[in-house]
Amino acid sequence: MTMTLSLVGPYPSEVPELIRERLPLNMQLREIKDQEALDVARDLEYVILRTLKIDAHLIENNPNLLFIQRWGAGYDSVDIVAAGKRKIPVAVAAGINSNAVAEHAILLMLASLRHLIALDASVKRGAWDRSSFAQNSFTIADKTLGLIGCGAIGKLVAAKAQALDAKVAYYDSFRLNPHEEKSLGLSFLPLRELLEVSDIISLHVPLLDSTKNIIDASALSLMKQGSILINTSRGGLIDEAALVSALREGPLMAAALDSFSEEPYPSNGALLTLANLIMTPHIGGTVADLTLPMVRKVIANVAAVKEGKALPKRDCVNQDLCGYPVE
């Protein structure tokens, strides 16, 4: 019997053909490109999902749904509890774009510390203003980088920052063991203390009920005067109204965001008015040289479920709910 694999969301132009070339036997591909078309679907079986959302209502309306594979590492766009109740495994592509996201985080830190965007605009306007910027530009060396979340991406960010002579501390609800902390050169701090002592805060946690608005007005008030906030994770981690105030009135010198509570970010949004904020369109993990590795990863997981084989343990994000075998 032929099964259908639905490629859901916007993808680089070459992706559909790369997937067709690698489809498991007796499987056909179809494309669903927008949320409106997805919401009315009633015949989903296997899904590769990017950008769009699958909620409990959609899961309920698709009785033949067998597997949801996220394109990337985040899974807040899927109701994993509703999927688990239906014994539908939900998987991510763990590790494929971790280094790309970590590089983007470091890029945003350096660009913020050295006012890269403003300098570029200044020179292109015909100015040659070195003194104004120099008085408020800084290196990352000897600064304290505070990581909120120290999973795969956080650890990569730590290593890259340490290579630039930054000191790195972290907070995570699941603390690393002492041996790993020592080997990575990391110190653990409670969240409040981390916010108080860090020159740069970088977010690397998933969006959960426990992390929503983890950076709110209260958290921002604890941060050092002249500090920087970086978010390459999920937009809902930051109270954006509070961030606007912190960038206008202090304590923040700058911030750089790759994700937002609403995406695409609205054209009348208050963040667009801030000269000391860098914004990128949730592109940290999207680079051309990772397209093929991502295709291989998601197809390998689709094939595993189709053949009744175990999924990689770090890929299946609702194993405790759905009971699907992992290895």
Counting the structural domains of the chain, the total is 2
> How many Å apart are CA 6 and CA 43, to the nearest integer?
10
Does 91 share its domain with 105? no
Quote the pLDDT of residue 122: 96
Does 170 share its domain with 248? yes
Does 158 share its domain with 239? yes
Quote the pLDDT of residue 258: 98
Does 56 share its domain with 135? no
Ramachandran quadrant class, 185 (left: phi over 0; alpha: psi -120 to 50; beta: rest): left
Buried-state track 126-142, b at ≥16 Cβ within 10 A, e below 16: eeeeeeeeeeeebebee
327 lies in a domain? Answer: no
128 lies in a domain? Answer: yes
> How many Å apart are CA 77 and CA 6, to the nearest integer?
16
Q: What's the predicted TM-score (pTM) here?
A: 0.93
Does 124 share its domain with 261? yes
pLDDT tens digit sequence for 36-64: 999 999 999 999 999 999 999 999 999 99
264 lies in a domain? Answer: yes
14 lies in a domain? Answer: yes
| DSSP code, position 177 | P
Q: Is residue 154 within 8 Å of residue 204, measured between CB atoms?
A: yes
114: nearest Cα among 12, 253, 10 = 253
**Beta bridge pairs of residue 6:** 30, 47
- Residue carrying structure tokens 């209260």: 218
> CA separation (Å) from 70 to 26, 157, 296?
22, 23, 13
Active site residues: 234, 263, 282
pLDDT tens digit sequence for 191-202: 999 999 999 999
pLDDT tens digit sequence for 235-292: 999 999 999 999 999 999 999 999 999 999 999 999 999 999 999 999 999 999 999 9
309 lies in a domain? Answer: yes
| DSSP code, position 23 | P
Q: What is the 3-state secondary structure (H, E, C) of 186-217?
A: CEECCHHHHHHHCCEEEECCCCCCCCCCCECH
159 lies in a domain? Answer: yes
Does 296 share its domain with 271? no
CB burial class (10 A; 0-12, 13-18, 19+) of residue 80? buried
CATH code for the domain of 50: 3.40.50.720
Sheet containing strand 27-32, strands side by side = 27-32, 3-8, 46-49, 67-70, 90-91
pLDDT tens digit sequence for 89-143: 999 999 999 999 999 999 999 999 999 999 999 999 999 999 989 999 999 999 9
241 lies in a domain? Answer: yes
> How many Å apart are CA 237 and CA 219, to the nearest integer?
11
Range(s) of the domain holding residue 51: 3-96+288-322
Average pLDDT of 227-236?
97
> How many Å apart are CA 185 and CA 144, to the nearest integer?
13
57 lies in a domain? Answer: yes
56: nearest Cα among 77, 79, 35 = 79
Q: Is residue 29 within 8 Å of residue 45, measured between CB atoms?
A: no
pLDDT tens digit sequence for 71-87: 999 899 999 999 999 99
Does 69 share its domain with 167? no
Does 31 share its domain with 55? yes
SS3 of residue 229 by DSSP:
strand
SS3 of residue 146 by DSSP:
strand
Does 39 share its domain with 122? no
86: nearest Cα among 322, 315, 308, 307 = 322
pLDDT band at 147 (very low <50, low <70, confident <90, very high): very high
Does 183 share its domain with 71? no
Return the C-alpha torsion angle 34, 38, 39, 40, nearest 10.
Answer: 120
The tokens for 61 are 């309306």
Does 76 share its domain with 148? no
Does 141 share its domain with 172? yes
